Chain A
Amino acid sequence: MTDIIKLTAAETAAKIANGELTAVEVTEAHLARIEAVDEKVHAFLHVDREGALAQARKVDEKRAAGEKLGPLAGVPLALKDIFTTEGVPTTVGSKILEGWIPPYDATVTKRLKAADVVILGKTNMDEFAMGSSTENSAYGPTGNPWDLTRIPGGSGGGSSAALASHMAPLAIGTDTGGSIRQPAAVTGTVGVKPTYGGVSRYGMVAFSSSLDQGGPCARTVLDAALLHEVMAGHDELDSTSIDAPVPPVVEAARNGSVAGLRIGVVKEFRGEGYQAGVMQRFDESVELLKELGAEVVEVSCPSFTKALAAYYLIAPSECSSNLARFDGLRYGLRTGDDGSHSAEEVTSLTREAGFGPEVKRRIMLGTYALSSGYYDAYYGSAQKVRTLITKDFEKAFEDVDVLISPTTPTTAFPIGERADDPMAMYLADLCTIPSNLAGNAAMSLPCGLAPEDGLPVGLQIIAPAMKDERLYTVGAAVEAAFAARWGHPLLEEAPAL
């Protein structure tokens, strides 16, 4: 019998379409898997068993009625708990939204439902997407399926862990500084941050509005492309959404090739702080690309060294304003409403009780950076750096088709190791942040296991804005070449849970 949970999304959809499997069978298999292993992994904050089964039954009925099914109809998905879901709790990993039931669906949620995707539940994350380990979740950390004592990346650690532990073949993440790509890298899965504006942010709880971008997570490049196509596209409810056709990502993923492409290796992403095994696998990837017919050149993007500093001014500044609405007056947690406190005091008490330490740290950083007298030195300068980084990318893309780098300087670190050292934690996003600042597209996909710890290493591919399809063309080629070399999917090497 087929092991349903090991199928790719594309395979699952095909089997449902041809009647080999029913959507209900597929959904039940994944719910059973969640039941069996999520106690250890803690990928989900909320499992919507009834909603998922109802959606699956609808798909089976549609098929029985002879209706045409979409490319992902009946395929289960794990949704990051940052997207609003009508009638289903949405916490953003924070106590401040505990118990809140949104009255509306995010655009992404709507599109998934319209595509007959089965949403299994909501996945764990760093509170308000602030973090690189999912340890900042108010509901406890998530384990990395490769080693449960290690972090699954963050902020979207719940989504990456759900994929790596076969609790879902598809997941959705959001990427503000690397929150899709870094979790993908450390769990041996695929994650894509589309071009800024490619996926609607409506109903995606804001952390840093000018950087946040939702994107697909999967175990294969093709699956990511199928999901990308379903979730992307112009949305009139999001003014920053791009009013242009979705790049042909599925076609690209089906036609992987690097022959004749010029690929740039970013010189600045190397050196101190980069784990030897990570660089070894990265260098092997470079050799592989050459073997596949690509021309690989070194490019320099000098401003990238300032990206982290700029990011930690812009993101906290925007977050300090975005999170002001959580005041205990309209929804979510309310503390101190006992008749003895004013509204202002209730707001203070609620925010004190409802926000975790990292969120408070960033609100304070951002409030300070935007203050009168400091704005030009901090927020203003950071915006200038942002422009320089964008120019570095533009210059590089005049010469090459895509850029590559390690996704993250190290493999998954142990839970707790960097919890008290914010700077060390921030370094996990060193290679991913420039793409958020510039708004272009980037992917992480597995390129092997680091010899020293046997943990997955991610290869990052970066494409110019609106050229998301290049990620899939290159990614599919690399994936196929590695699969041929390894003889099996990398995740097969993960220990049984």
Chain B
Amino acid sequence: MTVTYEDALASYEPVMGLEVHVELGTKTKMFCGCSTELKQDPNSQTCPTCLGLPGALPVVNAIGVESAIKIGLALNCDIAEWCRFARKNYFYPDMPKNFQTSQYDEPIAFNGYLDVQLEDGEVFRVEIERAHMEEDTGKSLHVGGATGRIHGASHSLLDYNRAGIPLIEIVTKPITGAGERAPEVAKAYVAELRELIKALDVSEARMEQGQMRCDVNLSLMKPGAEKFGTRSETKNVNSLRSVERAVRSEISRHAEVLNGGGTIIQETRHFHEDTGSTTSGRVKEEAEDYRYFPEPDLVPVAPSREWVEQLRAGLPELPRLRRNRLREEWGITQHDMQSVLNAGAIGPIVATIDAGADAAAARKWWMGELARHANETGVELGELPVTPEQVARVAALVQEGSLNDKLARQVLEGVLKGEGTPDEVVEARGLKIVKDEGALGAAVEEAIAGNPDIAKKVRDGKIQAAGALVGAVMKATRGQADAGRAREMILEKLGVEG
């Protein structure tokens, strides 16, 4: 019998643990000088160190450490006065040394929290266990099979360009007490973390590009129980929506197993976007033994307190507080602000306002025409080839009456197509509202002459029929006429009062 989500929540309390990996946006890798630019030929961004060649040694990227401390501070963590890297030993072809340089029992940041705001404005505190530094692995490409997975492949190709890119792993403490809102809390936490990472300017945190990846650990317990239930670990859940769905789906699945008298096995699970559910991955028959030990090739990291305080003083306004401030300044609802956040439009809108546009206009263009265009082309708003200054200029042209909305959309389209600045597009495409009474008058005369039947109706008092004549004028002027003025002139010519 299928257990509904509501049934599940009636009998169990969900407990979540979220592990988020963030790829830092440093110019070079964590332990060598190779570029972190991924869109290159396979294995072109490699050196003896990140290929794990015999004899090669790591050197810590100071910007990587700085970014980790910033993240730790923003998450209200303690920053270790002294900590070490550790080797996590396991064999896997995409890991050149067959150990990952990571941190184990001495993370750089620990014991923090992140307050996240839910849709209804409620603030939920997620406690942070730790944030630690480590390196990414390379990528395997399985060739010759039907699925692109290792099963059935004839051979595999390895690309180590990603190997050694700095990662920060952020691990929550068990999240309890969210109840039926667990999926929403999980999504809001990852969303808030993403905003935080972006605000700190340590990563672009694009989930769709794997710059931020989330593992969802979930278990159920009976209300009042003292011990957590057995957890499942759903790996690489890579969008906000999927985080929410994965939690929801696992809650139902666990409840179903438990209600049927079964036991949950501790295992890795994979989330499938198409079905919204998880399937079993590798069963952990015995706890994997990574044989951690302190990395002898690196010296301990001991950030001075002065440095930490300097970084603390330089932290930006926290995203949640900033959003609340902006929401009030812009005079919009919590729900509208959420839409702006989800669209990734806060930064562009703020910049557009800074460039002189009013808040409503800035929001209108970014959330409307530009969001649509970004969606269609599959890029982030911030990546569109239009600057906030240009959007502000378009808004100003509308404001002063030189453009109407329809023309403004055409101007933006021109800018996005690379035709130049808004003024250049206006000029090149000839997109000014026609205010010249002579030209407009000619178009009006033409419209009346060309549509005698309609003109008669208007003369006879069917004033609403004038709309068709206005339409003819607009058509003749390719939309550049001031429609209001055209209507006035038509009625005037036909001798009727508007």
Contacts and interface: CB of A to CB of B under 8 A. Distances in A.
- Tell whether A pairs with B: yes
Chain B contact-residue range equals: 20 to 34
A190 B100 CA distance: 39
Interface stretch (B199-207, B223-231, B287-295, B455-463): B287-295
Given A103-B48, A321-B89, A330 B96 contact: yes
A325 B98 contact: yes
B55 A370 contact: no
A343 B156 contact: yes
Contact of B56 (A203, A208, A329, A371): A203
Name which of A237, A320, A321, A379 has the most chain B CB atoms within 10 A of its CB.
A321
B283 interface: no
A73 interface: no
Nearest to A344: B91
Nearest to B295: A209
A94 to B, nearest CB: 10
A344 B58 CA distance: 26
B53 A375 contact: no
Contact of B55 (A83, A318, A329): A83
B56 A209 contact: no
Interface stretch (B9-17, B296-304, B361-369): B296-304
A280 interface: no
B52 interface: yes
A97 B53 CA distance: 11
Given A203-B56, A343-B156, A372-B289, A324 B91 contact: yes
Contacts, number: 104
Nearest to A84: B55
Given A239-B299, A372-B291, A329 B54 contact: no
Contacts of A75: none
What band does the interface of chain A fall in when counting residues whose beta carbon is under 8 Å from B? Answer: 35 or more
A182 interface: no
Do most interface residues of chain A lie in helix, strand or loop, or is the interface mixed?
A: loop
A202 B292 CA distance: 23
A61 interface: no
Interface string A394-413: 00000000000000000000
Interface string B68-111: 00000000000000000001010101001111000000000000
B235 to A, nearest CB: 20
B158 to A, nearest CB: 7
A325 B57 contact: no
A239 B293 contact: no
Nearest to B47: A104
A106 B154 CA distance: 37
B299 A240 contact: yes
A346 B296 CA distance: 29
Contacts of B96: 325, 330
B293 A317 contact: yes
Contacts of B59: 236-239
B374 interface: no
Contact of B297 (A106, A239, A317): A239
28 contacts: A97-B54, A102-B55, A104-B48, A104-B56, A202-B55, A202-B56, A205-B54, A205-B55, A209-B297, A210-B296, A237-B59, A238-B57, A239-B57, A239-B60, A239-B298, A240-B296, A240-B297, A324-B91, A324-B99, A326-B54, A330-B96, A331-B54, A339-B154, A343-B93, A347-B93, A370-B89, A371-B289, A372-B291
Interface of A: 83-84, 90, 92, 97, 100, 102-104, 106, 201-206, 208-210, 236-240, 317-318, 320-321, 324-327, 329-331, 339, 343-344, 347, 367, 370-372, 375, 379
